[in-house]
A and B are shown apart, each in its own frame.
Chain A
């Protein structure tokens, strides 16, 4: 067992292309996971376009914009962190990673306030106010909760993964570069899904 583990882990470090290939395949599955929901969104929006428009005007574009900025910036900082580590600047890499994690946390805090405001107004799946709304509005908010909820879950996972990477790098683990790059890929995915969610839910009004 021991030997295999060693042989293959040696292979890992020498074959970064393979490690990245595996990561990209995993990202495909994530895209398709969200793809299923984007299909549902497209179908329901086509059949209830006016009600989607009405419902979207109830979302707070300001908070949405802040969140978009936070995530976009965090994508930049994680890319900087990877590049810094590649060039051997561990300290800068760690700083940038911390900034990325903080921006992710800011996103989640915003999301928390946004959701609780909506839930406070009775707009949540099965909530009384929502059940009185039209079909299209109900679908809009149900999709909103499921899609941003699943996305939020991914942000949380991303934060955990990046925190683990922070631990690796501060300990000076040699094989961190490719791991950090793969974690960065995951973080970019989380970012790019938000880039689609933001206009589809906040900007269509």
Chain B
């Protein structure tokens, strides 16, 4: 390992958290261009947004506990599912892993001192905050919280009296934040890799972020312009999507999904990158099929950009195009399966150390597979007609987004926590929390899948008697899930301040972030490292708990 010898394997007192910069107090955070501090800022914001949206989801489930109006009116329920979706999608899952862990670890993993545009990096965080503030303003001003669903479908979004205009603007600004992060990462990866680090010596997390960044840059502007068009329709009376003015509302759906389907891969690819880091670190084996995993990220990015029409099988598009979209949708399963097989093959004959990050990762694989298989079912034309707009779809994308990306984010939190804060959480509590989450998750979403298959439509605040038992089970599942989440976050939060201090490489990871002190010093590396080996070479790794 041609890395500079780092003094001591103990907790580093003079680190990025304690360093004295130009600014004091809170400003040393709010005006910091250090990628690690920006990552922490994102972490705080994103977890806050997540918990807010979880609370809304919790209330939605509570509403379904009884038939008829239980706790909120139908109108409020509409606002609930809109906000739950908008916050979860635009403020949590899309920025989640890239903005938090990409910011924090991408530069370190490629041996750089920061991202290429540190100030633009900070700007992107302010864009996120700006979007969030606008969304909050939209809730409490005007004529009521938005009630369109997170998709803002025209023509309803152009006509509803609720405060959709501000919400659209918020989504647009959040998109801008995403674009800035993406172009920053691409430039960083192209220009700032340490000497010796060729493309195929990059850790797979970097590959995941790289593929994601391209989708962020290429797809986000399309949804930006689409949302702007709805905005002009609401504010100036332009009628591009208004049939009364010659427009075509279905075109809105096309433009929206041209972005929003690739956005699904913005959500999942970084998660897959995280899993590709954790599995070798806890199997103590180099990853099986490195190139296949790297290329499959790019393959998912490309194929995933050509499948948006599978959201629109019942919206009146031509039969031929539906068949084509359905076929390409099946193709996406191939690179996804390549990844899963490679992860499992990596574990084979490895010396497996079942620490919490690995357990979260294995849970990810299990839940993501259920999400993936149900996704294939959604992509089958005739099945899709049957389950369109039912709980089956809702369950499917919760398995993919929450069971997939969400669990990957939790796995990343548990994996990198000791490096970020220099302390370790209670592993026992982390495992218990995971078990509770797993039970609650499946009770909630698998029940929803069955309900959906039997015909329970999504986005209704009420249900028919034959679904009542299922709804009760799902709601109880949601309580268990929330309990698990609270335990998990509580454990982590407490450990930031009170956890046991750890050394630089508690897991025995082989990538660069584990070869620098814990927590990382302000400039990451004392001298620029030279890379002369593959990323998952565990032969010379020294474990320092």
Contact = CB atoms under 8 A, between A and B. Distances in A.
A1 B32 contact: yes
Contact of A32 (B218, B245, B248): B218
Interface string A1-34: 1111101100100010110011001101110111
B116 interface: yes
B4 interface: no
B221 A18 contact: no
Interface in B17-34: 19, 21-23, 28, 31-34
Nearest to A18: B191
Given A33-B224, A36-B226, A4 B113 contact: yes
A78 to B, nearest CB: 22
A125 to B, nearest CB: 4
Given A36-B226, A40-B251, A145-B238, A1 B21 contact: yes
Interface stretch (B182-190, B319-327, B487-495, B530-538): B182-190
B225 interface: yes
A158 interface: no
Contact of A1 (B34, B219, B239): B34
A204 interface: no
B238 A43 contact: no
A1 B38 CA distance: 12
Given A7-B523, A21-B191, A139-B246, A26 B237 contact: no
Contact of A15 (B179, B191, B220, B245): B191
Interface string B241-258: 000011110010001001
A48 B248 CA distance: 12
A39 B21 CA distance: 49
A192 interface: no
Nearest to B119: A5
B302 interface: no
A126 B236 CA distance: 7
Given A15-B191, A48-B246, A136-B246, A4 B522 contact: yes
A40 B254 CA distance: 10
B303 interface: no
A35 interface: yes
Contact of B247 (A3, A11, A30, A139): A139
A142 B239 contact: yes
A142 B230 CA distance: 12
Interface string A149-175: 010000000000000000000000000
Q: Is the interface of A mostly helix, strand, loop or mixed?
A: helix
Given A5-B33, A36-B226, A142-B240, A18 B183 contact: no
Nearest to A30: B221
B190 to A, nearest CB: 6
Given A21-B190, A22-B183, A139-B247, A8 B113 contact: yes
Contacts, number: 129
B117 interface: yes
Contacts of A37: 225, 229
A5 B255 CA distance: 39
A168 to B, nearest CB: 16
Contact of A22 (B184, B225, B228, B248): B184
A33 B33 contact: no
A39 B255 contact: yes
Contacts of A146: 229, 232, 238, 240
Nearest to A127: B237
Interface in A29-59: 29-30, 32-37, 39-40, 43-44, 48
A33 B225 contact: yes
Contacts of A145: 236, 238
A128 to B, nearest CB: 11
Interface in B199-242: 217-222, 224-226, 228-229, 232, 236-240
Interface string B265-300: 000000000000000000000000000000000000
Interface residues of B, number: 50
Contacts of B219: 32
A115 to B, nearest CB: 12
B462 interface: no
Contacts of B22: 1-2
Contacts of B240: 40, 139, 142-143, 146
A138 B118 contact: no
Contacts of A26: 179, 183
A131 B255 CA distance: 25
B224 to A, nearest CB: 6
Contacts of A28: 217-218
B522 A3 contact: yes
Contacts of A60: none
A18 B187 contact: yes
B114 interface: yes
A15 B118 CA distance: 14
Contacts of B229: 37, 40, 146
Contact of A125 (B182, B228, B237, B255): B237
Contact of B118 (A8, A21, A33, A131): A8
Contacts of A5: 33, 118
A127 to B, nearest CB: 8
Contacts of B116: 8, 11, 15, 18, 22
Nearest to B37: A1
Contacts of B251: 40, 43
Contacts of A138: 239, 245-246
A10 to B, nearest CB: 11
Contact of B33 (A4, A48, A134): A4
Contacts of B225: 33-34, 36-37
- Which of B23, B117, B221 has its CB near the most chain A CB atoms (within 10 A)? B221
B183 A1 contact: no
Contact of B236 (A34, A40, A48, A125): A125
A134 B118 CA distance: 51
23 contacts: A1-B34, A2-B21, A3-B522, A4-B34, A4-B523, A7-B114, A7-B523, A8-B114, A11-B192, A22-B184, A22-B187, A25-B182, A29-B220, A33-B224, A34-B225, A36-B226, A40-B229, A126-B236, A139-B240, A142-B239, A142-B247, A145-B238, A150-B228
User: 3 closest A-B pairs (Cβ-Cβ)?
Assistant: A126-B237, A135-B246, A1-B21
Interface of B: 19, 21-23, 28, 31-34, 113-114, 116-118, 120, 179, 182-184, 186-187, 190-192, 217-222, 224-226, 228-229, 232, 236-240, 245-248, 251, 255, 258, 522-523
Given A8-B116, A18-B190, A37-B229, 20 more contacts: A1-B21, A1-B22, A2-B22, A3-B522, A4-B113, A5-B118, A7-B113, A7-B114, A22-B184, A25-B186, A25-B217, A29-B221, A32-B221, A36-B221, A36-B225, A44-B246, A142-B239, A142-B240, A142-B245, A146-B229
